[in-house]
């Protein structure tokens, strides 16, 4: 099947369209997007629930035939489930390392289970149970600096990490780092309590230079007019790491960096690398696509592109900008 591919470009706030693209049969049959990482999307088959990854939407692969990589069948741990995927992370994009088959995929399910595998080497997943009971507001990511998968714990007071050099017959135990926060914004106690009651996602991200940030995204605070002046995205920069403790400082200045949050693995991009991107901002893809200015603490919602088709499937995942 041949069709057009429409991608929203956050820099130009318009559509990038690739006409007459050959669509893989796995997508034609109604695959459901369950996550994205490094420009690769992960699809779940509606019928047999199998998962595959593809570079079909990757801006660097738009001119060639798409690659489809099947994943091993999921197996659930006791008292866990594998039907609902929360998010996906990868150690690197396939083909960007010396050994083209040596990359690791990590999947966090709704609940306590995480699963890891090397897709072109492993016949099954290595399953682990998160050390805390409630992880539904935390997102898995891969740290290039530490070569580990990382996951913020509930309330964001701890950071869990799993070593990439696991063996499939071993149970990779996570390392725990306690997070200490300081320089918090001056808000009344009642406001902190209200924020704590709002839906929130925690994202650990790294800049291209290796800086680490914890981004707390309060997704529904803006629905209340009384909270219009409150920050609904909070960013904490890692200042120091010693003896299992990481010191985090609240900041409203991340410089030239843009952070992209969605159902894809969170990532950072220098605004100067792609003209049109706004520095010191958080780009969010959820119910709407928007950008949050850390300086002014305001959201700007992107308008629906004028040249967009009337009916278009909407995937709430950011892909790396074309110019990056």
Q: What is the 3-state secondary structure (H, E, C) of 141-156?
A: EEECCCCEEEEECHHH
Predicted confidence (pLDDT) per residue in 134-152, tens digit: 656 789 999 999 999 999 9
Rounded CA gap, 35 and 266, in Å? 11
Rounded CA gap, 230 and 72, in Å? 44
Report helix, strand or coil for 211.
coil
| Residue 311 CA from chain centroid, whole number | 26
Q: What is 2-301's CATH number?
A: 2.130.10
- Compute CA distances 309 → 5, 15, 304, whole Å: 11, 10, 10
Contact status, residue 280 vs residue 259, Cβ threshold 8 Å: no
Rounded CA gap, 188 and 237, in Å? 23
Contact status, residue 126 vs residue 106, Cβ threshold 8 Å: no
Identify the CA nearest to 35 among candidates 62, 14, 54.
54
Identify the CA nearest to 226 among candidates 269, 194, 182.
194
Collect the ranges in the chain with pLDDT lower than 50.
223, 324
Contact status, residue 179 vs residue 234, Cβ threshold 8 Å: no
- Compute CA distances 174 → 150, 171, 278, whole Å: 9, 9, 36
Predicted confidence (pLDDT) per residue in 292-303, tens digit: 999 998 888 888
Rounded CA gap, 261 and 75, in Å? 28
Report helix, strand or coil for 189.
helix
User: What is the 8-class DSSP label of residue 265?
Assistant: P
Supply the pLDDT for residue 226: 56
Q: Structure tokens of 153?
A: 């714990």
- Compute CA distances 317 → 29, 164, 265, 275, whole Å: 20, 25, 9, 21
Rounded CA gap, 117 and 263, in Å? 20
Domain ranges of the chain: 2-301
Supply the pLDDT for residue 324: 46
**Unique residue bearing structure tokens 């041949």:** 2
Supply the pLDDT for residue 32: 85
Rounded CA gap, 224 and 108, in Å? 31
Identify the CA nearest to 261 among candidates 289, 302, 242.
289
């Amino acid at each position: 099947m041949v069709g057009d591919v429409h991608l929203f470009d956050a820099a130009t706030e318009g559509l990038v369209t690739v006409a007459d693209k050959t669509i893989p049969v796995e997508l034609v049959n109604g695959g459901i997007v369950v996550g994205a990482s490094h420009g690769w999307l992960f699809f779940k088959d509606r019928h047999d629930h199998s998962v595959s990854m593809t570079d079909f939407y990757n801006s660097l692969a738009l001119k060639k035939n798409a690659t489809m990589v099947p994943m091993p069948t999921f197996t659930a741990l006791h008292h866990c489930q594998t039907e609902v995927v929360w998010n996906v992370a990868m150690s690197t994009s396939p083909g960007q390392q010396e050994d083209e088959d040596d990359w690791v995929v990590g999947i966090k399910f709704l609940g306590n289970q995480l699963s890891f595998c090397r897709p072109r080497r492993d016949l099954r997943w290595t399953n682990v149970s998160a050390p805390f009971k409630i992880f539904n507001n935390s997102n898995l990511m891969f740290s290039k600096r530490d070569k580990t998968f990382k996951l913020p714990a509930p309330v964001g007071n701890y950071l869990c990490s799993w070593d990439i050099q696991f063996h499939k017959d071993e149970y990779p135990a996570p390392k725990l780092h306690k997070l200490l926060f300081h320089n918090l914004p001056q808000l009344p106690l009642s406001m902190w309590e209200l924020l704590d009651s709002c839906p929130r996602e925690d994202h650990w991200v790294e800049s291209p230079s290796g800086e680490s940030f914890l981004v707390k995204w309060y997704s529904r605070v803006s629905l209340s007019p009384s909270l219009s002046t409150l920050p609904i995205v909070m960013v904490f920069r890692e200042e120091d790491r010693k003896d299992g403790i990481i010191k985090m400082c609240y900041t409203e200045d991340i410089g030239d960096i843009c952070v992209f949050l969605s159902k894809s693995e969170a990532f950072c991009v220098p605004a100067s690398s792609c003209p049109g991107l706004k520095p010191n901002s958080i780009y969010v893809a959820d119910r709407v696509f928007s950008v949050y200015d850390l300086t002014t603490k305001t959201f700007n919602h992107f308008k629906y592109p004028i040249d967009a088709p009337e009916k278009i499937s909407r995937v709430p995942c950011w892909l790396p900008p074309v110019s990056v």
